[in-house]
């Protein structure tokens, strides 16, 4: 009886507070021997610390109940993230699909809104005379907003702002004009200029133009980029027709040995693989320079050994005070040449050698310089 009273006193708070059913508590406690109950009490006192030692059995039971409740809640909270992660894993795939569909729909709407608006107006800066001539020849001169200092044809180009030269363009001046496209022949500035312009969001077009085929391709591609492809194709076809007619006529004439000179001190000439070399061959001439690169420098002794039939004056500076004829007629070494003695020195201006829409006229000029003014294709 005494043991039962102690159990009732010990577990009365549990029954009053409604923690567990009355019968369940009694049944569970009745099955535990006295020594186990004492062990439970000692374990509870040890877990609760010094405060539990001074409490009475009823207070000790209440504190033990609160401790057990907190333990149950902690275990429940520990299991809750696992259940939440499982739910998220089950629903992750549908949410990812929905999110992807939403992003694609947003991009599609943005693309439609851009397409429905006005296209950005083209603003072109040309850094070489050849590309400037092409722009006017295909009817796109109105798109130009800047030019190099050497762009002097047609006369309408003179009204455009200058942004430096072919080899030394002013990037700041170009950017200030807010162009959408910068074009020009591939020159000394090279990739550095292209990278600098692209860093400012400006498109560039610097094609190779060291052959007639390269020139016609450049004209067509430039026309495509500025929205004048049909006109550009007509200009390219006209150049090709004139080239074929002239080459056919030149093959029927005797070939003459030609030296294309660009400077006399030092002596800079056109070599194999260069654009002037191709013009000489198409015009029915034979270039006496067969090695050394596209534009080699030769010595006076080498020049005397070559002794060409015709000297073509392609002076790099058209505005020089003296022509090649005036500079070499009385010069030592030069005056011994057959071409100088027979007066076969012919001026071919650099303007007609520009790799642009007038190149067919330049080819005709070279052919007449080699074969005489009576040459007609």
Each domain of the chain, given as residue ranges in start order, spans 1-117, 124-238, 254-371
Rounded CA gap, 173 and 184, in Å? 16
Q: Which residue, 215, 164, 152, is CA-closest to 186?
A: 215
Least confident interval from 25-34, 80-89, 175-184, 319-328: 25-34
Look up residue 237 and give its two tokens.
Answer: 């076809």
Work out the average pLDDT over 120-147: 95
> Is residue 4 pLDDT above 70, yes or no?
no
The total number of residues written for the chain in this structure: 377
Per-residue pLDDT band for 84 (boundaries 50, 70, 90) equals low
pTM: 0.66
Beta carbons of 281 and 270 less than 8 angstroms apart: no
Compute, in degrees rounded to 10, the torsion defined by CA atoms 79, 84, 90, 92: -140
Query: Which residues have a Cβ under 8 Å from the Cβ of 135 and sit 6 or more positions away?
Result: 124, 126, 141, 143, 144, 183, 222, 226
Percent of the chain's residues with pLDDT above 90: 51
Report pLDDT for 246.
94
Instruction: Single out the residue of 70, 61, 53 nearest to residue 29, CA to CA.
Output: 61
The whole-number average pLDDT for the span 72-83 is: 57
CA distance 214 to 151: 20
- Per-residue model confidence (pLDDT) at position 96: 56
| 25 in Cβ contact with 64 (< 8 Å) | no
**pLDDT class of 17 with cuts at 50, 70, 90:** very low
Residue corresponding to tokens 């050849």: 130
The pLDDT of residue 265: 85
- Does residue 279 register a pLDDT over 80? yes
pLDDT of residue 327: 85
Contact between 282 and 363 under an 8 Å Cβ cutoff? The reply is: yes
pLDDT at 120: 73
Per-residue pLDDT tens digits for 208-250: 898 999 999 999 999 999 999 999 999 999 999 999 999 999 9
Considering the domain 124-238 in this protein, what is its CATH number? 3.40.50.1980
pLDDT at 362: 92
Angle made by CA atoms 204, 206, 210, in degrees to the nearest 5: 170
Question: 207 falls in which pLDDT band (50, 70, 90)?
Answer: very high
C-alpha 91 chain-centroid distance: 42
Q: What is the average pLDDT across 343-361?
A: 88
Q: Which residues contact 268 (CB under 8 A, 6 or more apart)?
A: 261, 262, 295, 296, 297, 316
Fold of 254-371: Rossmann fold (3.40.50)
DSSP summary character for residue 122: P
CA distance 40 to 45: 9
Task: Name the more confident of 97 and 209.
Answer: 209
pLDDT category of residue 32 using cuts at 50, 70 and 90: low
Is residue 88 classed exposed, middle or buried when 0-12, 13-18 and 19+ CB atoms within 10 A define those classes? exposed
Q: How far apart are CA 132 and CA 79, in angstroms?
A: 76
């Amino acid at each position: 009886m005494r043991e039962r009273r102690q159990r009732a006193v010990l577990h009365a708070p549990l029954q009053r507070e409604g923690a567990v059913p009355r019968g369940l508590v009694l049944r569970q406690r009745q099955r535990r021997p006295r020594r186990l109950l004492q062990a439970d009490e000692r374990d509870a006192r040890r877990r609760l610390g010094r405060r539990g030692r001074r409490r009475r059995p009823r207070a000790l039971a209440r504190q033990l109940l609160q401790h057990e409740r907190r333990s149950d809640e902690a275990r429940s909270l520990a299991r809750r993230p696992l259940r939440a992660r499982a739910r998220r894993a089950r629903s992750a795939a549908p949410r990812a699909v929905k999110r992807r569909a939403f992003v694609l729909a947003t991009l599609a709407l943005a693309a439609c809104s851009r397409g429905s608006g006005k296209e950005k107006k083209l603003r072109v800066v040309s850094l070489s005379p050849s590309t400037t001539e092409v722009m006017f020849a295909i009817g796109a001169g109105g798109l130009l907003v800047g030019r190099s200092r050497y762009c002097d044809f047609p006369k309408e180009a003179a009204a455009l702002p200058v942004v430096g030269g072919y080899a030394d363009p002013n990037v700041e001046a170009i950017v200030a004009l807010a162009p959408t496209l910068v074009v020009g022949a591939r020159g000394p500035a090279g990739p550095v200029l292209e990278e600098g312009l692209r860093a400012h969001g400006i498109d560039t077009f610097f094609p190779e133009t060291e052959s007639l085929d390269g020139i016609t391709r450049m004209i067509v591609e430039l026309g495509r980029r500025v929205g004048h492809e049909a006109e550009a194709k007509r200009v390219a076809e006209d150049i090709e027709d004139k080239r074929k007619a002239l080459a056919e006529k030149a093959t029927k004439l005797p070939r003459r040995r030609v030296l294309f000179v660009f400077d006399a001190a030092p002596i800079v000439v056109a070599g194999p693989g260069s654009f002037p070399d191709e013009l000489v061959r198409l015009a029915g001439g034979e270039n006496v320079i067969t090695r050394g690169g596209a534009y080699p420098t030769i010595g006076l002794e080498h020049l005397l050994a070559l002794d060409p039939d015709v000297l073509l004056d392609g002076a790099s500076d058209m505005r020089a005070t003296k022509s090649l004829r005036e500079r070499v007629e009385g010069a030592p070494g030069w005056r011994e040449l057959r071409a100088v003695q027979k007066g076969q020195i012919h001026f071919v201006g650099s303007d007609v050698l520009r790799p642009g829409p007038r190149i067919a006229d330049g080819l005709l000029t070279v052919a007449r310089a080699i074969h005489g003014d009576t040459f007609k294709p």
